[in-house]
Amino acid sequence: MLNYVMDQIPDVDFFDCRVSTADINAIQALENAGFRFVGKEVYMARSLVQSPVPKEYGQTDCIPCPYELQTEVLELTKKTHFHNRYMYDPEVRHQDAVNVYRKYLADLGFKKEFRTMIMRNGQKLLGFIFYKYNNVLSQIVGNKYASLDFIAVNPEAQNSGVGEALNKAALFDLVRSSATHVVVRTFGSNYPAIRICQKVGFKITSSDLHFHLWVRPRAQAKHRLQFIVFTGNRPSLASTKFII
Ligand SMILES: CC(C)(COP(=O)(O)OP(=O)(O)OC[C@H]1O[C@@H](n2cnc3c(N)ncnc32)[C@H](O)[C@@H]1OP(=O)(O)O)[C@@H](O)C(=O)NCCC(=O)NCCS
């Protein structure tokens, strides 16, 4: 089946597959097809109904991101989002792996469906969180689903409660949108991220292993990389070379 799918999509340079950690048959099928293991992601969920959000979640110093800080938010992404699976893929240049989430958020982050909270100290941006109420999933599944998508805290301000406060502010806002369930995923070795989710009531529900396969000539991979995002049915840029 794997070979069939790969044959049917001739115009793709790169495959990213994720399978359940327990699915040893699928894992070995990917390994046999030449896929490279690049990391583990954990999924967490929190019900806003069974454990209502305390009032104090609405009393943080976080505010919606003003327009003039959007560029600063994107720049912070470059400084912080380096623990990602592209770092563990030798086909991806270091600088590209550093930039990947900045490019992803520049394409998607400030679009209508996402909301952004920030925390600052005077003029200094301490951190931000992107999250969304997921209309499509909510309609399909029947509950009211939301997700926390990206969070980053300035390295100089880490470990002082900013990340936890941003999570709280986002959850409080999602309650006001009538969300009933919130999901989040992160790299399995991102202990601070897992910790701040656990502290605001998330529980780990599952984990996946991630595999990459480059199907175009190796020589090109390190020199022609473009980060392009599939957001449903069509890529956001014209020439799709890279899928995240
Ligand atoms: C994840 C992140 C947002 C956390 O922000 P933060 O402001 O440092 O978070 P807080 O200060 O509220 O809490 C950090 C918690 O992690 C714990 N922690 C920090 N480093 C840790 C480590 N190496 N191992 C285990 N726990 C760790 C801290 O002890 C603290 O928990 P505690 O309050 O129980 O002591 C921040 O580390 C970050 O920006 N990371 C880079 C971007 C990223 O990975 N984002 C998540 C993926 S979307």
Domains in the chain and their CATH numbers?
12-221 (3.40.630.30)
Average pLDDT over every residue of 180-209: 97
pLDDT tens digits for range 21-71? 999 999 999 999 999 999 999 999 999 999 999 999 999 999 999 999 999
| Ligand 1 pocket check for 151: Cβ under 6 Å | yes
Cα 58 to its chain centre, rounded Å, is 24
Pairing of strands 36-47, 181-187: antiparallel
Which residue's CA lies nearest to atom 44 of ligand 1? 81
Which residue's CA lies nearest to atom 35 of ligand 1? 159
- Give the Cα separation of 177 and 171 in Å (integer): 10
Q: What is the pLDDT of residue 79?
A: 87
Pairing of strands 114-121, 124-133: antiparallel
- The percentage of residues in the chain with a pLDDT greater than 90, rounded to a whole number, is 63
How many angstroms separate the alpha carbon of residue 162 from the centre of ligand 1?
A: 9
| Ligand 1 pocket check for 93: Cβ under 6 Å | no
Angle between helices 191-199 and 162-176 (to 10 degrees): 50
Average pLDDT over every residue of 70-93: 88
Q: What is the pLDDT of residue 3?
A: 81
Which residue's CA lies nearest to atom 21 of ligand 1? 192
Average pLDDT over every residue of 174-197: 96
- Give the Cα separation of 12 and 141 in Å (integer): 31
| Ligand 1 pocket check for 109: Cβ under 6 Å | no
Average pLDDT over every residue of 128-143: 90
Which residue's CA lies nearest to atom 20 of ligand 1? 192
Measured between alpha carbons, how far is residue 36 from residues 13, 29, 242 in Å?
Answer: 15, 11, 16
Average pLDDT over every residue of 5-34: 90
Average pLDDT over every residue of 112-121: 93
* pLDDT of 244 above 50: no
* pLDDT of 218 above 60: no
Per-residue pLDDT band at 94 (split at 50, 70, 90): confident
Inter-residue contact 3 to 203 (CB < 8 Å): no
Nearest ligand 1 atom to the CA of 158 is: 8
- Give the Cα separation of 241 and 224 in Å (integer): 9
How many angstroms separate the alpha carbon of residue 158 from the centre of ligand 1?
A: 7
Which residue's CA lies nearest to atom 5 of ligand 1? 163
* pLDDT of 237 above 60: no
Q: What is the pLDDT of residue 135?
A: 86
